[in-house]
């Protein structure tokens, strides 16, 4: 169901993932002090891919946010992964890379919502060694993706899904509002928006996270 892979393997196999993660790391690295000390040590440890291995044919210059208007946490947990699955299937994407944009051991260091989620992911990702990324079929999303919901990650991307096999390269990040921030190249805009509509998502920009957030479900029936 899920296979652990080296991050460098992901970057070398996909020019899109290579360029996108390098750009993400560059964006966040500017906040670190490069003078030797705690910041510099953290930068070296976490930011392992500040420069891409290979050029990319077309700029990753498009962004959109997809949201699911759930009535409860229960509906969100049960239905949201199905809609994400439908979205990828509509784009013809069969396999995905799962990783954070920083060099993070998900089994040990990711702030899962509870021990159940951590242990469930640990069982799925056993014997990962120093590999910090994962390859999984889209069909596994219903099992794997909900483990990262309602985590302790705030004001940063929670987790990333990037195209591993398929003709439409796309980066999908889960934000702490429980929505999908997607980055892609302009030539795929129509395909991606059609897939989002087909999957039943609300589509917008940053304002959509102020309209649809899992934090609003806290007071609703679970």
pTM: 0.91
Q: Is residue 50 part of a domain?
A: no
Q: Give 161-213 pLDDT, tens digit per residue.
A: 999 999 999 999 999 999 999 999 999 999 999 999 999 999 999 899 999 99
Minimum mean pLDDT range among 98-102, 151-155, 198-202, 214-218: 214-218
Report CA dihedral (206, 80, 107, 27) to the nearest 10 degrees: -20
Question: Averaged over 53-80, what is the pLDDT?
Answer: 94
Domain-located, residue 28: no
Domain presence at residue 34: no
pLDDT value for 222 = 43
In-domain check, residue 195: yes
Q: Note the Cα 57 to chain centre separation in Å.
A: 22
- Establish if 192 belongs to a structural domain: yes
Average pLDDT (83-106) is: 95
If one counts the domains in the chain, the total is 1
Measure the CA–CA gap between 206 and 185, rounded to whole angstroms. Answer: 18
**Among the listed residues 146, 170, 120, 138, the one whose alpha carbon sits nearest the alpha carbon of residue 68:** 146
Is residue 190, in this structure, part of any structural domain at all? Answer: yes
pLDDT tens digits, residue range 145-166? 999 999 999 999 999 999 999 9
């Amino acid at each position: 169901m899920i296979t652990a892979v080296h991050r460098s393997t992901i970057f070398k196999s996909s020019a899109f993932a290579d360029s996108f993660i390098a750009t993400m790391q560059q964006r966040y690295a500017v906040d670190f002090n490069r003078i030797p000390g705690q910041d510099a040590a953290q930068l070296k440890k976490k930011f392992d891919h500040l420069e891409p291995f290979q050029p990319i044919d077309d700029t990753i210059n498009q962004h959109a946010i997809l949201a699911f208007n759930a009535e409860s946490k229960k509906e969100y947990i049960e239905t949201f992964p199905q809609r994400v699955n439908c979205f990828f299937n509509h784009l013809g994407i069969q396999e995905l890379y799962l990783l954070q944009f920083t060099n993070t051991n998900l089994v040990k260091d990711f702030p899962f919502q509870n021990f159940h989620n951590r242990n469930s992911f640990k069982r799925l990702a056993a014997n990962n060694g120093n590999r910090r990324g994962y390859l999984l079929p889209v069909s596994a999303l219903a099992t794997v993706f909900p483990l990262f919901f309602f985590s302790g990650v705030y004001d940063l991307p929670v987790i990333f899904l990037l195209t591993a096999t398929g003709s439409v390269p796309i980066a999908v990040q889960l934000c702490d509002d429980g929505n999908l921030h997607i980055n892609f190249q302009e030539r795929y805009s129509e395909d991606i928006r059609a897939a989002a509509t087909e999957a039943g998502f609300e589509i917008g920009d940053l304002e959509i996270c102020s309209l649809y957030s899992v934090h609003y479900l806290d007071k609703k029936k679970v």
